[in-house]
Amino acid sequence: MDEFSYAHRDTSYAGGLNKPNIPEELQRIREEAFASEIPVAADDTLCFLMAQAAAVRPESILELGTAVGTTSIAMAFACPQARITTVERDRAFYEAALVNFGKCGISGRVTAVCGDAGEVIERLEDPFDLIFMDCAKVQYIKYLPRLKQLLRNGGVLIADDVLLYGWASGEAEVPKKRKMLARHIREYIDAVTSDPELFTCIIKAGDGVALSVKR
Ligand SMILES: C[S@@+](CC[C@H](N)C(=O)[O-])C[C@H]1O[C@@H](n2cnc3c(N)ncnc32)[C@H](O)[C@@H]1O
């Protein structure tokens, strides 16, 4: 759990106003995940993700970092026409996600892969309309070139947790243990905001998302 210890701070910015419009079964799964300290998206991030996904109307979605499946299920709910490929390296989380996809009736639309995201994205071939990256933050910069190839023109890449409590922008001092993480995230932000093939906006939703649209 130390790997996620930085991911449990309260980063709500909207004073509790964001309330995801989701089925009861998904809310139950989220509450169990919160109670077990599994790092799943809080209300602000989930509302942002679902609103974006509904606007993009993707046919194909790629998610890196399934955990127990809450964001996959939320995107499936927001985009009833979409097929989702989601990647998780932790076998226990992957298996829990499979059960949760069954409970929410979306197993037929989801390809869940247990493996390392960096390896899996090299094997994928289909282009995606929407990519949600929510795995090891330190790897975002490494995955970016391949994700750009996998993203259809006009497609949207959303990277979660890029503000890191103000560490990335320099507004808050970075703890010694997190300096490398903050440096890599900063590299990701610099790369997506200066890339001539992308239009990017960093948005204060949850702990910050980078929303990039491929020209
Ligand atoms: C923040 S959680 C994902 C939460 C999920 N998107 C949600 O909100 O329901 C990050 C997940 O990414 C997984 N992960 C981290 N690095 C990974 C990698 N290189 N490949 C695949 N999964 C990875 C972790 O095991 C963890 O379950």
Q: What pLDDT is recorded for position 1? A: 43
pLDDT for 20 beyond 70: yes
Domain locations in the chain as residue ranges: 2-161
Q: What pLDDT is recorded for position 90? A: 98
At 36, list the tokens. Answer: 């077990």
In the 8-state DSSP scheme, what is residue 14?
S
Q: Is there an atom of ligand 1 within 6 Å of 88 CB?
A: yes
At 23, list the tokens. Answer: 């089925």
User: Mean pLDDT over residues 23-28, rounded?
Assistant: 97
Q: Is there an atom of ligand 1 within 6 Å of 117 CB?
A: yes
Distance between start and end Cα atoms, the chain:
38
* Atom of ligand 1 lying closest to residue 46 CA: 8
* Atom of ligand 1 lying closest to residue 118 CA: 19
Confidence band (pLDDT; 50, 70, 90) for 9? low
Q: What pLDDT is recorded for position 2? A: 46
User: In this structure, which topology does domain 2-161 adopt according to CATH?
Assistant: Rossmann fold (3.40.50)
| pTM, entire model | 0.95
User: Mean pLDDT over residues 178-207, rounded?
Assistant: 95
Q: Is there an atom of ligand 1 within 6 Å of 33 CB?
A: no
pLDDT for 10 beyond 90: no
Q: What pLDDT is recorded for position 14? A: 82
Q: Looking at 4-138, which runs of residues are DSSP E strands?
A: 60-64, 83-88, 110-114, 128-133
Q: Is there an atom of ligand 1 within 6 Å of 90 CB?
A: yes
Confidence band (pLDDT; 50, 70, 90) for 103? very high
Q: Is there an atom of ligand 1 within 6 Å of 129 CB?
A: no
In the 8-state DSSP scheme, what is residue 108?
G
* Atom of ligand 1 lying closest to residue 67 CA: 27
pLDDT for 50 beyond 60: yes
Q: Looking at the chain, which runs of residues are DSSP E strands?
A: 60-64, 83-88, 110-114, 128-133, 151-160, 198-203, 209-214
CA distances from 78 to 5, 16, 149 (A): 29, 21, 25
What mean pLDDT, rounded, does the chain reach?
Answer: 94
Could you read off the pLDDT of 169-186 as tens digits, one per residue? 888 898 999 999 999 999
CA of 214 to the centre of ligand 1 (A): 24
